[in-house]
A and B are shown apart, each in its own frame.
Chain A
Amino acid sequence: GNSVTQMEGPVTLSEEAFLTINCTYTATGYPSLFWYVQYPGEGLQLLLKATKADDKGSNKGFEATYRKETTSFHLEKGSVQVSDSAVYFCALTRGAAGNKLTFGGGTRVLVKP
């Protein structure tokens, strides 16, 4: 079956530091890949997505590239802010409407001023 593995947190870093959160997946065929972010006390928000190999998703300074050869979708941001403190979830889905999302375990990121 499908699965998503992401690095465990918490990840603590200083403002303006470089952030990488690793995510690898197992799936048959060509899944769509997502990063969701959950700010404290809030629901999940879609951060970015990629639907085919070599696609790069980007939003709010975050980027992730769909690497089929390494089955990875690592999230990166060059200069984090305190407001980026949140839990980040890597996820995948396959096929058409109604398919289930498979989530990774989530990575908590804490950015200190």
Chain B
Amino acid sequence: GAVVSQHPSWVICKSGTSVKIECRSLDFQATTMFWYRQFPKQSLMLMATSNEGSKATYEQGVEKDKFLINHASLTLSTLTVTSAHPEDSSFYICSAGQGRSYEQYFGPGTRLTVT
């Protein structure tokens, strides 16, 4: 149980275009979803926290207009990187929390390359 999927697993896009990444909890209802960014050989940086039906809470320094997060249902959250640039190339990882549990279940990640 507690499986989280991400789609796509990797994507290449041209500079200036937008990319949407989906995060789904497959067998449980995720009241909270988190989006992280991971640079090569570095730790995870939390970008934002989203609760179903509410606006996402962004961490300091993360541009909310560039990284649009939607958590429209208890099983789906999306991250849209708008007007992507090469510096947005990274590994994006989502995780999901269930109910009152402190545990987070991680998706496999999406590698974004902007050319």
Q: A43-B109, A103-B43 are in contact. Are A98 and B103 (CB under 8 A)?
A: no
Choose from B42, B95, B101, B106 the contact partner of A106 (Cβ within 8 Å).
B42
How distant is the Cα of A46 from the Cα of B95 in the complex, in angstroms?
A: 11
Most chain B CB within 10 A, of A32, A98, A103, A105, is at A98
Interface set, chain A 85-113, CB cutoff 8 A to B: 89, 93, 95-101, 103-106, 108
Task: Say whether A108 contacts B41, CB under 8 Å.
Answer: yes
The yes or no answer to A77 lying at the interface (CB within 8 A) is no
Residues of B within 8 A of A108 (CB): 41
A105–B98 Cα distance when bound, in Å, is 25
Contact A32 B102, beta carbon cutoff 8 Å = yes
* Least CB distance, B108 to chain A, in whole angstroms: 4
Which chain A residues border B82 with CB–CB below 8 Å? none
List of B residues within 8 angstroms of A36 by Cβ:
106
Are A100 and B31 neighbours in the complex by a CB distance under 8 Å?
Answer: no
Contact between A97 and B31, CB atoms less than 8 A apart: yes
User: What's the Cα separation between A29 and B52 when bound, in Å?
Assistant: 28
A71 in contact (CB, < 8 A): no
* Bitwise interface map of B from 98 to 112 toward A, beta carbon under 8 Å scored 1, else 0: 111111111111000
Do B102 and A95 have beta carbons less than 8 Å apart?
yes
Q: Which one of A43, A44, A46 has the greatest number of beta carbons of chain B within 10 Å?
A: A43
> B70 on the interface (CB 8 Å rule)?
no
B34 in the interface (beta carbon within 8 A): yes
In the A-B complex, the 10 residue pairs with the smallest Cβ-Cβ separation, listed nearest first, are A43-B108, A98-B32, A44-B106, A43-B109, A97-B100, A105-B43, A43-B106, A106-B43, A103-B43, A103-B44
Q: Which A residues are within 8 Å of any B CB, using their own CB?
A: 32, 36, 42-46, 49, 51, 89, 93, 95-101, 103-106, 108
Subset of 21 A-B contacts with CB under 8 Å: A36-B106, A43-B6, A43-B107, A43-B108, A44-B106, A46-B106, A49-B103, A51-B102, A89-B43, A89-B44, A93-B102, A95-B102, A97-B102, A98-B49, A98-B97, A100-B49, A101-B104, A104-B43, A105-B42, A106-B42, A108-B41
